[in-house]
Every structure is written in structure tokens, then in C-alpha cells.
Amino acid sequence: MTASPLLSIVLAAGKGTRMKSDMPKVLHKLAGRPMLGHVLALAQSAGSTRVAVVVGTDMDAVEVAAKSAVPNAQIFLQRAQLGTGHAVLAAREAIEAHDGDVLVLYADTPLIRPETIARLRARLDLGAAIAVLGFRARNPAGYGRLVTDGKDELIAIREDKDATPTERRIELCNSGVMAFRVPGLADLLARIGNSNAKSEYYLTDAVELGRTDGLCAAVVECDEDEVLGVNARDQLAEAEAIWQARRRRELMHEGVTMIAPQTVFLSFDTQIARDVILEPNVFFGPGVSVAEGAEIKANCHIEGASIGAGARIGPFARLRPGAKLAEDVHVGNFVEVKNVAMAAGAKANHLSYLGDGSVGAKANIGAGTIFCNYDGFNKARTEIADGAFIGSNSSLVAPVKIGAGAYIGSGSVITKDVTAGSLALERATQEERPGWAEKFRTMMARRKAKS
């Protein structure tokens, strides 16, 4: 592919009224990332040297999200919604300052693959001045039709409401995504009129205008699912399902075992190494990495965590942000770990909460152990050194340190540091009253009989 500089213009001004939401449509999340974020990542993977984002009025949140994803992105305002051609021309300043290819993307179309954009740009290398991404629709109604010469050269794009009955029978449809290698592109776009059924300025009219100037236009095809546009919640769910199925297949082809793939949910940045085993009903939020040979058992929820090689997690475990598990760590059923580093071979196998602290190598955390990390105002750390043994049903009141090899007796509430190799106990003295149980039962039976 050519090394021609690339300006990507991302159209994000749509109101998204069918989403029935106070949030701008393009900020609704797919696989844990806003749709806008997916499209900006696509623009960057395509090799964009410059990125322009076109937003609507009262969309400060969209501007913030765009700048967060691409700090040097230029933001342009489309004050009125007068069509795609009008939206692209909102970024006229960026177009006129750019010498190279221009790519137009849509912030509500988050499933396009980088390799598809590479094919689109490659068509420019083969002589096209305008390349349009098209697809074969299962139901073409409502889509613009791509009128070709029978091959891949494009004659015109006809919007559905403006198409003739013959043109409506065309199955090849317009995705809206276009790439240009046109000197003076802004001037070409400025010639687009609005003499159509919607009185809008269609970017698609650039094809016929370009042909009158002697420019070649071409079509590059992709799968329909790849160019699914999201306008409503059901379409967002459909896009999520497509993205998840695609990513699951990729991971399985890379050596990850999924017992029931359709029940595993991944985030846009989930990293899973080969020979990892995922049992059913595992959910990954953003920021998770899993090293080779780890096993994630059923019904686990994991976000913002790193899991070392050979670790065993679950079933029914929750790893929250800041959980850092080294190799061969065991975190078992109904254990929650938040902002805790667990060193190699450490174990917390049952019914515990570990929050804000560290657990040393081969330390053992007994069932029912709680890191009491919050006093209602501030959080403090619990530090457990290598080889320590924490007995069941212990409460460790932070800030506190447990020394290497120390033992904590079951049922203890530990409020002070424990030195290495020591046994720490904190319990009331056990009292026993012989015969008390039988006397109590007799007394209660008499009361019940009287009543």
C-alpha cells in the first residue's frame, strides 16, 4: 500500500434519537469501549497521519472522548444535520491543509476490520480516485445502491428514495465509507447539491461529480456484518454479538480453549495467551491479561487484572482492578480480590475478601478471611509476607503487616503487626458450663407447655 499521508474524517454528529438515551449515540459501548473509540482505533491502525472528528452541537462529551483516544485529533462542529456531504465539509479546513488520501468513517459503524481499510486504500493505488466500501445486503431496502459497469468500476451511488425500480433491484449496497485521492477534494465536495428526496447534501454524489471530471471510482466489497451501523439498542446488541463471536474465534485459533465459547464475554483489550482454559460464563472487563496455561473456571468476573502463568481462578471468583496475580496463584470460589498483588504460589481458595494490599509467595489465606481496608474515610493496606498462614475466619484490620512464615489463629481479629514466624491469636476465652443445655431445654419446654 502507498505511503501517501492519510487524513481520516470520522463523522460523529448524529443525534442518535432511536437510542432513547441522554448519552450521545457514539459513546455507547461495544466490548467495553465507546463505538467512537473503536472507529478512532481503526483510523489509527489504517496509518492516519491526521484525524478529524465532526461533532454536533452540545456534544462536549464526544469531543472529550475523541481527544482521550487521539489527543491530536481536530474537532469540527456541524451545526445543522444537512447530510453526509455537509458533514464532511465541516472539516474543510483539515481537508484543504492536507496533501494525500482522505478516508471518511462513521463513528456508529464500529466493526470494520483494518485489513478492509487496507484493501480500500489499495484500490486507490490501482488507479481509482474514489474507492467506496460496498456490501451485498440480505435485504437491500433502505440502503443506497452501487451502480457499476458490471465489474468494480462505480458509475453512481443512488439513495434508496431516489432510485428507479431497476436500481432498487441491485443487491450491492453502499456502506458510506469512502476513500479519496483527489486533488482539490474540498472544491469537489462543495459542488454537491441537495436536489433529492431529502433535500440533503449526499457525500455519495461525489462519485458522479468526479466522473464528470474524468476521475475513476471503484467498489471494494466486504461482508455485510462488518459495516453494520448502530442506530438503536437492538443494533448495538447485534454488533456486540458479532464482535464477541469474531474475537472468540480469533483467540481459539491462537490456542485458547473455550468450553462454551458463546458464554465467554471479552473486552476490546482482553489479552489471553495460548493454552489458557476458559470454562463457561466468564466475563472480562477492560484491562485484563491472562498468561499461558492459566485456568479460569466457571462463573468468574474479571476486570483490570493480570493473571500469571498456571494460575487457577474460580469458580465464582471476582477479580477487580489492581488485582495482580503471579504464576501458580489460586483464587477460589467466592473470593474477591481488589488492588492486591499475590506472589507466586499464593492461595486464597474460599470465601474471602482481599482488598488493598499484598500477599507473599506461597502464603495461604484461609476461608472467610477479610482485609478490613476501609474505615469509612480512608483505605489502608494489609501486607502478608512469604509463607504466612492466615487461619479461617480472620479479620486483618489495615494498616497491618503479617511477617514471613507467621500463623494467624482462626477467628482472630488482628489489629497489630505480627512478627515473622510468630503465632498471633485474638479470641475471647472459651467457657463451658456442664449440664446447661439439658436444663435450658427443660425450662423452655415448660414455658411452651404453659403458653
Cα dist from 389 to 60, 287, 380, 423, whole Å: 52, 31, 21, 9
Contact predicate 400/416, CB 8 Å: yes
Q: Which residues pair with 121 in a beta bridge?
A: none
The catalytic position among 86, 98, 330, 350 is 350
Taking the C-alpha atoms of residue 130 and residue 151, their distance in angstroms, rounded to an integer, is: 15
- Is the dihedral angle over the CA atoms 187, 190, 191, 192 positive or is it negative? positive
Contact predicate 169/190, CB 8 Å: no
Taking the C-alpha atoms of residue 204 and residue 380, their distance in angstroms, rounded to an integer, is: 60
Query: Which amino acid, residue 296?
Result: I
Cell numbers placing 335: 473470593
Which 3 state secondary structure label does DSSP give 306?
strand
User: Can you count the helices (H) and strands (E) in the chain?
Assistant: 10, 35
Question: How crowded is residue 80: how many other Cβ atoms within 10 Å of its Cβ?
Answer: 11
Contact predicate 124/3, CB 8 Å: no
- Is the bond preceding 5 in cis, omega lying within 30 degrees of 0? no
Taking the C-alpha atoms of residue 260 and residue 275, their distance in angstroms, rounded to an integer, is: 16
Q: DSSP letters along 225-276, please?
A: GGG----SHHHHHHHHHHHHHHHHHHHHHTT-EESSGGG-B--TT-EE-TT-
Is 98 annotated in the active site? no
Cell numbers placing 107: 463513528
Return phi, psi of residue 400, to 5°: -155, 150
Residues labelled catalytic: 350
